[in-house]
Amino acid sequence: MDLQRLDSYQWGAGPDFNENVLHKTILVGDSGVGKTSLLVQFDQGKFIPGSFSATVGIGFTNKVVTVDGVRVKLQIWDTAGQERFRSVTHAYYRDAQALLLLYDITNQSSFDNIRAWLTEIHEYAQRDVVIMLLGNKADVSSERVIRSEDGEMLAREYGVPFMETSAKTGMNVELAFLAIAKELKYRARRQANEPSFQIRDYVESQKKRSSCCSFL
């Protein structure tokens, strides 16, 4: 998908706005798993169907998310999943505070490659980078080859939060970025008596909430 179509969001200004906090978040995963689509859905609330055109290089979109009354600036980098761009994208890992690692639930090899992605992340990114595993294209249930439990199991093995998403329907897209923003805000602006925040627990509780009450 063409990065030119990603319009940059203008930073808003407000009483809570903390200009000093800019959080770099990177989307990674095999080509075609839906990184650009996920970002477009989060940024613009839409899905652009049509033929797949792979991202060339890297580009970013700025977005302000409000969590617990605090505005958190996310600078979200969309990387090209194709192997030939790998050395370019590695250079961006170093100062990333969060990484969203995607696979496609209809594509076995994109799931099998997650371990290799995690090896690269551990090699090039900061030790305390926030990682979240996302199984995208959850709307395409008829072509599913990766069970949700397999995603859960892999995530548990690496100690990272996990959820399935759909860039098409928007399922869990906002939750994924919100959870990242909450974790980053917690790390950056922890108040003295604030209870500790566990991103995995938060994600699990939010997932349960959305599945329990979908009939309401």
Ligand X SMILES: Nc1nc2c(ncn2[C@@H]2O[C@H](COP(=O)(O)OP(=O)(O)OP(=O)(O)O)[C@@H](O)[C@H]2O)c(=O)[nH]1
72 versus 163: smaller Cβ distance to ligand X: 163
Hey, which residues does 70 pair with through a beta bridge?
67
DSSP code per residue over 64-110: EEEETTEEEEEEEEEE--SGGGHHHHHHHHTT-SEEEEEEETT-HHH
DSSP state of 165: -
- Which one among 23, 24, 25, 55 touches ligand X, defined by CB under 6 A? 55
Q: How far is the CB of 120 from ligand X (least distance, A)?
A: 15
Sheet with strand 58-67: strands edge to edge:
58-67, 70-79, 22-29, 98-104, 130-136, 162-164
- Which one among 22, 46, 52, 91 touches ligand X, defined by CB under 6 A? 52
Q: Does 140 bind ligand X (CB under 6 A)?
A: yes
Taking the CA atoms of the chain, what radius of gyration do you get in angstroms?
17
32 versus 90: smaller Cβ distance to ligand X: 32
139 versus 186: smaller Cβ distance to ligand X: 139
Q: How far is the CB of 12 from ligand X (least distance, A)?
A: 26
Q: Does 172 bind ligand X (CB under 6 A)?
A: no
Tokens (6 digits) for 146? 């990766």
Q: Which stretch binds ligand X (CB under 6 A): 12-20, 31-39, 156-164, 193-201?
A: 31-39
- Which one among 9, 17, 21, 32 touches ligand X, defined by CB under 6 A? 32
DSSP code per residue over 166-184: -TTT-TTHHHHHHHHHHHH
Residues 62-81 that bind ligand X (CB under 6 A): 80-81
Residue 167 φ then ψ, to 5°: -70, -20
Q: How far is the CB of 190 from ligand X (least distance, A)?
A: 33
- Residues in the site for ligand X, rule: CB under 6 A? 1, 31-37, 49, 52, 54-55, 80-82, 136-137, 139-140, 166-168
